Amino acid sequence: MREHNLKLQPDKCEFLRKEVSYLGHIITSEGVKPDERKVEVVKNFPTPTTTQKLKGFLGLAGYYRRFIPNFSKIAKPLTELLKKNTPYIWNEKTETAFNALKESLSTEPILQYPDFKRPFVLTTDASNEAIGAVLSQGPIGRDLPVAYASRTLIVAERNYPTIEKELLAIVWACKYFRPYLYGRKFTIVTDHRPLTWIFSVKDPSSRLLRWRLKLEEYDYQVVYKKGSKNTNADALSRIQVAEISPDDKEQRIEITQDEKQKIFQEMHEKPTGGHLGMNRTYDRIKLFTSWPGMKQELEDYIRRCEICQRNKITQNKTKMPLQITTTPDVVWEKCSLDIVGPLTLTLEGNKYLLTFQDELSKYTIAIPIQQQDAETVAKAFVEEIVLKFGI
């Protein structure tokens, strides 16, 4: 330090300590944990009575979200109160979430330091409301957490089938923990067995294909593990499979013909539909529901839409009849003359081009001119064509 002219202030230094308090965290030889003094502030935080006080609590608790498994799902009832035009009503659900966040900070284990010489384990899970992940190291089943991460699902994502939600959790977790995982061999642990073979499907949907392409930059293997044996998975959102999967097709709700017509009318003809085209209307409906043959039925419906037929411009171009043209036998036998413009005005004051082309050789001359009147055109033609090439 003397060599680099660095100085320390003694009253701000601590030496020979087994643990250090830094930015609200306790750093020890075993790992990182929240500062007990800050945890006490969270645990003793009074029930928020206003939106501003709730923001203060979520800001304080959110600072330690990396220590709280499935933070987004636990806090969802509270974050819902912060939405615009939502009345501030404190009920049993918000009270449960409020207490759960307090409890999580006081019971969760210490986060381990990442050892980049050892392989990582990425455990993911999804529910109807959120997705979450645990980054850990060690033998599966005895692995110790390095960090937790979670987020809530947007409206469109909540309509995904279960297998797509589970795969979304993997794609999102790999991106979130990319600095730890990229360029290293790691293991993905899932409690959803179909994910172990979804990567070998030869003809996946466009969404699954995009996600598979995103995952191709990583070096990983997928391991299935029952939820009951997955200790880290308790940190994630665990639910029963309620979506349509290959094993429960008989539970699929059948949509009647009248219901289909109502869906088409709502998504296409109502003011929110706006009489959009076939593909855009189809994509909107797919966010909420689908059934076999839906695309063809929708196409037939839109073709019968009187407003669309009356107001939309047809895309069928009128084809002109083919004409037989004669080809000159020698150059300069037949030439074409045309004017292009107006164009951007040049420094010389020209804004048109007089174009001359020989129809056999396609030899072309472009002559800049200021005006397109007969006198200007004739003068340019004589000076640039006749005097240079003859008649």
Q: What is the CATH number of the domain that holds 221?
A: 3.30.420.10
Instruction: Report yes or no on 207 lying in a domain.
Output: yes
Residues 338-375: tens digit of each pLDDT: 898 888 888 888 889 889 888 888 888 888 988 888 88
**Res. 388: pLDDT tops 70:** yes
Same domain, 129 and 240: yes
Q: Tell me what pLDDT residue 186 has.
A: 92
Task: Provide the token pair at 210.
Answer: 């995009």
Residues 6+ apart with CB under 8 A from 306: none
248 close to 165: Cβ distance less than 8 angstroms? no
**Res. 43: pLDDT tops 70:** yes
134 close to 74: Cβ distance less than 8 angstroms? no
pLDDT classification of 2: cutoffs 50, 70, 90: confident
Same domain, 231 and 268: no
Q: What is the mean pLDDT of the chain?
A: 79
- For the entire predicted model, the pTM comes to 0.47
- The domain total for the chain is 4
Q: Tell me what pLDDT residue 298 has.
A: 85
Q: Exposure of 15 by Cβ count < 10 A (0-12 exposed, 13-18 middle, 19+ buried)?
A: exposed
Rg (C-alpha) for the chain, rounded Å, is 35
Instruction: Report yes or no on 139 lying in a domain.
Output: yes
Residues 15-41: tens digit of each pLDDT: 888 888 877 778 887 788 877 777 787
Name the CA dihedral angle for 51, 56, 62, 67, rounded to a multiple of 10 degrees: -120
pLDDT classification of 390: cutoffs 50, 70, 90: confident
Closest CA to 221 of 175, 248, 266, 189: 189
Domain that holds residue 350: 335-389
C-alpha–C-alpha distance, residues 22 and 42, integer Å: 18
Residues 203-244: tens digit of each pLDDT: 556 777 788 888 888 998 888 776 544 444 444 444 333 333
Instruction: Report yes or no on 318 lying in a domain.
Output: no
